[in-house]
Amino acid sequence: MEEKSIISVRNLTKNYGSASVLKGINLEVKKGEVVAVIGPSGSGKSTMLRCINAMETISGGDIYFNGESVARMKKLPKLRQEVGMVFQHFNLFPHMTVLKNVMYAPVTVRGELKPKAQEYAMELLKKVGMYEKRDAYPSTLSGGQKQRVAIARALAMKPEILLFDEPTSALDPEMVGEVLTVMKQLAKTGMTMIVVTHEMGFAREVADKVAFMDEGIVMEWGSPRQVFEETENERVKAFLAKML
Amino acid sequence: MSELIQVAVKYRALLISGAKVTLIVSLLTILFGLFFGILMAFLKMSKVKILRAFANVYVEFIRGTPVLVQIFLVYYGLPLMGVEIPSIVVAGFDISRIVSGTLALVINTTAYVCEIVRGGIESIDYGQTEGALALGMSPQRAMLAIVFPQAMKNILPSLGNEFITIIKTSSQISVIGIADLMYTADTIRGISFKPMEPLIIVALIYFLMTFVISFILRFAEKKMKKGYAR
């Protein structure tokens, strides 16, 4: 039996005024899959990702989350509790400690009890190797540490799927590894993930599916092997030659 | 010097009473001005066009007219609009004048605090709002729990300046006969025939008040900085 998609992007378009950024995107993400989205800058990767949790409004087409239309959805906070997001610039809350960053939303948004939320937050912080820093403020952390906390914070909401918006692009090179390691572990636990990234190694090694985007469309779609090795598309080849 | 002390001691009851009025009026203005200023800032950033327009006109008009004119407008305008505040004298102070003087100052302060708060909120990176929304927070919670506290911390120095300005500006309510510190200086000058001494004494008292406020604020700032740096 064909497994149902968690996320189903159908003919998605997005315009900013007269500039059209997305020109009909189609994408299917099934439970437990890791999908890497690659492509040159300005190809609409991040915009597409941000449409999925309704950070951007959809101009045309639609996205279905477990069969529900995102374009027609009224309760966006509810959607965003299920669809977590990790940002390029972390967006940790500077006026809260690491622990409070992680447990604030579960307590206030999901209404979890504090002791329970704290216990789970500590567990997550251990998982991403940030338990020792639980009482520190974000400003005292390195970029890699911040991003690991941000991942724990997103996981604390127990989302069904996690979106990563270039999670390593703002990091110093020596810190990219620690974040990718956490993401790899996460993928192994069966977390459904869509990762917009410039890390070709990660896409190749960890992703189940790779989408190559350019000029607002998905130009190539398939397994890492299909996209990285067997592609006939000249644009994909040129891009990969530059990146690898 | 001895002249100064003589005058200060002789008229200490008047001076203390005037200082009290100035302090009470300033404190009330700070409190209500802060409250309505924050409210006005949210109106100015509202999605509803009419609210935004109202806040814009309000702020531009208040900032574009002298506070002295505003004080007179409220003082003579309130009765004309049918608002009569009974002239009750409590502890030697005419409440009706104090209310209209304070109201004028609050109206004035609201406009300035509004601009300070709005600037503070807009200075917070939009990523903070996005981070909060992405966790499923409502836009209201994202504003109140995430953006607003950070904004308030950033604008603390500007707010402190505004508080100090209020104390100094409050001297202008003496024109409608409120017996504040400035009014006291005039009174003492009238009965003692000494022009300089009362003014110098009053200036020192004003300075003491503003100095204490700026000291407290500097302390608060330091304490908040210890909490977290950006």
**Segment A156-177, tens digit of pLDDT:** 999 999 999 999 999 999 999 9
Query: How many CB pairs lie under 8 A apart between chains A and B?
Result: 70
Nearest to B158 by CA among B215, B119, B123: B119
Hey, are the CB atoms on A89 and B136 less than 8 Å from each other? no
Cα nearest neighbour of B142 on chain A: A105
Asked whether the predicted pLDDT for residue A1 surpasses 60, the reply is no
pTM of the model: 0.87
Summarize the confidence of residues B103-128 as an average pLDDT: 96
Percent of chain A with pLDDT over 90: 92
**Across the interface, which of B127, B138, B230 has its CB nearest the CB of A87?**
B127
Interface residues from chain A to B (CB-CB < 8 Å)? 53, 55, 76-78, 80-81, 84-85, 87, 89-95, 104-105, 108-110, 137-139, 153-154, 157
Summarize the confidence of residues B5-30 as an average pLDDT: 93
Confidence of residue B92 (pLDDT cuts 50, 70, 90): low
What pLDDT, on a 0 to 100 scale, did the predictor assign at position B227?
60
Summarize the confidence of residues A35-41 as an average pLDDT: 94
ipTM: 0.92
**Across the interface, which of B125, B130, B146 has its CB nearest the CB of A55?**
B130
CA–CA min distance B222, chain A (Å): 15
Summarize the confidence of residues B119-124 as an average pLDDT: 96
What pLDDT, on a 0 to 100 scale, did the predictor assign at position B3?
86
CA–CA min distance B34, chain A (Å): 22
Cα nearest neighbour of B227 on chain A: A95
